[in-house]
Amino acid sequence: MINRLHSSCSQERPFAPAPQGGSHCLGCGGPSGWVLPLPHCMTLLGLFHVYPPYPAEGSTLPRVPSQESPATGWARSCPGDVTPSALPSSPLALPRGTPPCHAPGHLPGPSFGVTPGQARALHLPIGMSPRPGTLAHPPEREGGSESSRAQYPLPRGTPRRQHPRRGLGPPEAPMEKDIDGCQDVAKTVPSAMLGTEGTDSQLDDFVGANPDYNEEEEEQKYFRRKRLGVIKNVVAASLAGTLTYSVYLGLLQMQLILHYDETYREVKYSNIRLEDIDRKVLMGINVTPVAALLYTPILIRFFGTKWAMFLAVGIYALFVSSNYWERYYTLVPSAVAIGMVIVPLWASMGTYIMRMAQKYYEYINYKEEQERERQRAPRDACNTYIIIFQTIFYSCFHLSFVCAQMPMVFFLNNYLYQLNHTLFAVKHCGTLSHGTLPGFNKTVLQSLPRSVSLIIVESALMAAAFLAMLVVLVLCGAAYRPMEEIDMRSIGWGNIFQLPFKHMRDYRLRHLFPLFIYSGFEVLFVCTGFSLNYGVCALGLERLAYLLMAYGFSASVCSSLALCMLRLRRRIPLLAGAFIHAVLLVTLFCWAPEPRYLAQAPLLYSIAALWGTGSALNKTGISILLGMLYKKKERQDFIFTIYHWWQALAIFTVYLWSGLPMKAKLSIMLLTLVVAVGTYLWMEQKVAWNMEVRLPRIPRPRHKTRGYRYLEDNSDETGSDGDGDKEDDDRHPTEATRENELPKEDGEQLG
């Protein structure tokens, strides 16, 4: 190390020898009594910048003549001889307490631009000055001047060891580092401050604000990413719902057709009563949702909106997997599980889309939110996004009726008999029929599909169901922040159980019950009554898939008609859909198509497409209407639970009336539609009159903080009417709360 430093530094200008009798000063090591000044060595190693002391303006530093060693040309920086063996092996590894020193005539100053604290941490002597001969001591000032000597006097007996803070001279200036590692020339800045103020300024430059940082632009980028995330969540939830129901409806339809064939049952399952199993499967799917009102809000609050969706989609995938081994103990339990999660799935889907609309409104109007400082938002502020997002969801979902026909189109139609065989004994169709297509042939398969082919189809459906689970898990973000989820659960499980029933006291919901029931009637009627008693009876079983595809395409496209709510009154789409269905119900009531008559196909496809238009306006309009009426996030899961529970009751009723004549079914549906339209218009009239709304209080969440846990207090308290927080922000300000009556909300009039 010493030799390398000697060879690299000896090429410089020779140093003056230090006088005898002094103490050793920090150096790199050399021959006895000769040391290389440490600042020069450190710059060779590239470890430090050298900051020599800089004299004041118009003054020079005093300097004594230096001596050179004739042998080496090294400068003695301190009196006293020290052999190389006595020097430390590393220039930084000096023992603690090594006294700093100064060459004669040199002014004490900070150690090479290193603060005293840094010097002590590195065991460097404090106060050493750089070697003479650099631009810190310019050649023209070597002799010094009288003014400089007067300004920096060195009285006799001045000790050469001085505290760095008491050293004379102005602060040091930074010095540029040479490319080769040696700093022979230092560029000084007169105004540089390298003491405490200099360190603070350097720290401010390092951690201070970037001058190119634009806060407003970064804020816009942040909320733009947030809005794109919301759109991604809506599309992902819509795609997951489409995949889930595509798999469910397609598999159920294929399963019922295969099990209906006598040859298939006898050859493959001779000792199993598949017809009885199918009846139990349909019973489990249609009857179990009747009890969903008791547990759906608890399930959503316990798991959260996103995880309730994920659980429901996973159970639909379980139903698909049970078809690999068709037995009573696999099909029936999975069908019961499907029935249990139908209402939670739809309630969580509706709540999720509503929350995304509200979030998007918050992100698009973030400046208004900041300026408003938690003041009341303008009425109907986020209705635009509710309309748009519900339209996107139902436009995607109705495509599930199209995708569900893929197993029929690409697989099962290759094994079906033509209509002359399957409809040979059918005498009456349409309004003249009784039950579910009487006289239909018990044999519909002209050849049995191979088991391997069935496994391939079921595996493709299973892959789609698994993809739906991944979409919900990975692409769907949380509907609420974690603490909001905790607050929504912390009102108590008893209150959560009671609130769906208490919400039914709201006159707006009571007036919408017939509309909810009709919504359940019409979707199941088009899949069973119309498809079988009209479509299959006239066109054959091989045309069933195309009939339902016409319905699905029309419903998907016409869901976009709900966007007219952005310009028109909100009642117009609902009334338009109801009018279309009323005309079609009267037509179907009066028309009985001829069996096995293909010339009626255009009329049947037109009816299916028009029915899809009415369904799209009906379902999209109801969801938008509920979103407009109930914007409080604490109520949305209860409201959508009630809506889909009434739909489930209607589907159960359709399951029970399957044996009735077609005219009776059509009459019940037409009567329900008329009552639904009348009660809806009466509800809108009451809302226009600002009639008092009766809604239950939602108790204030009460928590205890114990350690890092966020615990709830009085979680099983059930007095939701007495103690709780104030009612919704959109409550009418002039309303009074009567005795034994709950707070009231004003109806938000858009129409």
CA distance 84 to 507: 100
DSSP 662: H
647 has a pLDDT exceeding 90 = yes
Residues 6+ apart with CB under 8 A from 610: 554, 580, 584
DSSP 583: H
| DSSP assignment of 503-521 | HTTSHHHHHHHHHHHHHHH
Phi and psi (nearest 5°) for 705?
-100, 115
Helices 544-558 & 383-397, crossing angle to 10 degrees?
170
673 has a pLDDT exceeding 80 = yes
The answer to whether 400 and 249 are in contact (CB under 8 A) is yes
| C-alpha separations of 248 from 318, 347, 403, 407, 458 in Å | 10, 18, 10, 11, 11
Tokens 């179990």 belong to 288
| C-alpha separations of 182 from 82, 124, 138, 185, 304 in Å | 25, 20, 18, 9, 66
62 has a pLDDT exceeding 60 = no
Tokens 């900041």 belong to 370
CA distance 564 to 573: 8
Q: What is the pLDDT of residues 7-22, one digit of tens each?
A: 444 444 444 444 444 4
- Give the confidence band of 24 by pLDDT, cuts at 50, 70, 90: very low
Residues found in the chain: 751
The confidence score (pLDDT) of residue 478 equals 92
- Give, for 705, the enclosing helix (H) or strand (E): strand 703-706
- Quick one: which of 49, 46, 26, 75 has its CA closest to 186? 49
97 has a pLDDT exceeding 80 = no
The confidence score (pLDDT) of residue 180 equals 43
If one compares 320 and 159, the residue with the highest pLDDT of the two is: 320
Query: Residue range 663-687: average pLDDT?
Result: 95
Q: Name the least confident of 67-76, 110-119, 389-398, 694-703.
A: 67-76
The confidence score (pLDDT) of residue 228 equals 95
Q: What is the pLDDT of residues 623-644, one digit of tens each?
A: 999 999 998 888 999 999 999 9
Q: Name the least confident of 252-256, 269-273, 459-463, 617-621.
A: 269-273
151 has a pLDDT exceeding 50 = no
Q: What is the pLDDT of residues 39-60, one digit of tens each?
A: 444 444 444 444 444 444 444 4
The confidence score (pLDDT) of residue 128 equals 47
575 residue type, one letter: L
750 has a pLDDT exceeding 60 = no
Query: Residue range 244-265: average pLDDT?
Result: 92
> If DSSP codes are grouped into helix, strand and coil, which group holds residue 446?
coil
515 has a pLDDT exceeding 50 = yes
718 has a pLDDT exceeding 70 = no
Query: Residue range 427-456: average pLDDT?
Result: 90
| C-alpha separations of 438 from 42, 441, 599, 661 in Å | 102, 9, 22, 11
The confidence score (pLDDT) of residue 72 equals 42
Residues 6+ apart with CB under 8 A from 191: none
Q: What is the pLDDT of residues 195-254, one digit of tens each?
A: 556 676 777 666 666 677 788 888 889 999 999 999 999 999 999 999 999 999 999 999
CA distance 40 to 45: 9
Phi and psi (nearest 5°) for 595?
-65, 145
646 has a pLDDT exceeding 60 = yes
- Give the confidence band of 366 by pLDDT, cuts at 50, 70, 90: confident
Query: Residue range 249-274: average pLDDT?
Result: 86
What is the share, in percent, of the chain residues with pLDDT greater than 70? Answer: 64
| C-alpha separations of 539 from 528, 543, 608 in Å | 15, 6, 13
> If DSSP codes are grouped into helix, strand and coil, which group holds residue 52?
coil
Q: Name the least confident of 261-275, 291-305, 439-453, 600-614.
A: 261-275
377 has a pLDDT exceeding 80 = no
- Give the confidence band of 278 by pLDDT, cuts at 50, 70, 90: confident
The confidence score (pLDDT) of residue 720 equals 37
What pTM was computed for the model?
0.68
The confidence score (pLDDT) of residue 701 equals 80
Q: What is the pLDDT of residues 124-134, one digit of tens each?
A: 444 444 444 44
Q: Name the least confident of 601-605, 637-641, 723-727.
A: 723-727
Query: For the chain, how long is the longest CA-to-CA vector?
Result: 134
The confidence score (pLDDT) of residue 268 equals 80
Q: Mean of the per-residue pLDDT values for the chain?
A: 75
Long-range contacts of 381-384 (CB under 8 A, 24+ apart): 382/357, 382/358, 382/631, 383/627, 383/628, 383/750, 384/566
If one compares 645 and 155, the residue with the highest pLDDT of the two is: 645
Query: Residue range 455-482: average pLDDT?
Result: 94
